[in-house]
């Protein structure tokens, strides 16, 4: 079996770093009222985390499994196509396509896991978190 070249290893390292960046979803944006100013951003972040945990516990996740599966399949298809192009340039279309499909599917799986059931997948989740924060005295004005 042929050993991977340094270029392949470097490419996979770069790809794996890019998979884990950008996995966090949108967070509530709070108006700087007296509660936020008195408690500070650290306290606000803790309160947001508590409200998000409650939302995850009480809000139905809906079709989270379907969402994750769709992201995984889509990522695999995009990765296979991208890998085939890279493999064609490097001289091995089959290997490039296989590596691309594996990396793309992994990225799709992770993206699906991190966005399923949360703010991006379910608007009720956002409403729940916003209400929880308002009950704590914050004023959520949007999500970013």
List the domain boundaries for the chain. 33-62+121-144, 64-116
Q: What local confidence, expressed as pLDDT, does residue 133 receive? A: 98
pLDDT digits (tens, 9 = 90+) for 65-82: 555 566 667 666 766 676
Calculate the CA dihedral of residues 86, 89, 93, 99 and round it to 10 degrees: -30
Q: What local confidence, expressed as pLDDT, does residue 11 receive? A: 44
- pTM of the predicted protein model: 0.48
The dihedral through the CA atoms of 45, 54, 134, 25 has a sign that is positive
CB 87 within 8 A of CB 96: yes
CB 121 within 8 A of CB 64: yes
Phi and psi at 12, nearest 5°, equal -65, -35
pLDDT digits (tens, 9 = 90+) for 44-103: 999 999 999 999 999 976 555 555 566 667 666 766 676 677 667 777 777 777 776 677
């Amino acid at each position: 079996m042929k050993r991977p070249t340094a270029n392949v290893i470097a490419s996979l390292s770069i790809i794996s770093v890019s998979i884990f960046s950008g996995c966090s979803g949108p967070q509530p944006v709070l108006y700087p009222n007296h509660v936020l100013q008195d408690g500070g951003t650290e306290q606000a972040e803790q309160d947001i985390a508590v409200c998000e945990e409650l939302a995850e516990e009480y809000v139905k996740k809906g079709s989270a499994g379907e969402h994750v599966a769709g992201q995984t399949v889509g990522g695999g298809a995009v990765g296979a196509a991208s890998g085939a192009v890279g493999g064609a340039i490097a001289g091995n279309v089959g290997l490039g396509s296989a590596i691309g499909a594996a990396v793309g599917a992994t990225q799709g799986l992770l993206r699906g896991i991190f966005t399923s059931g949360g703010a991006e997948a379910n608007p009720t989740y956002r409403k729940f978190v916003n209400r929880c924060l308002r009950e704590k005295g914050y004023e959520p004005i949007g999500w970013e």
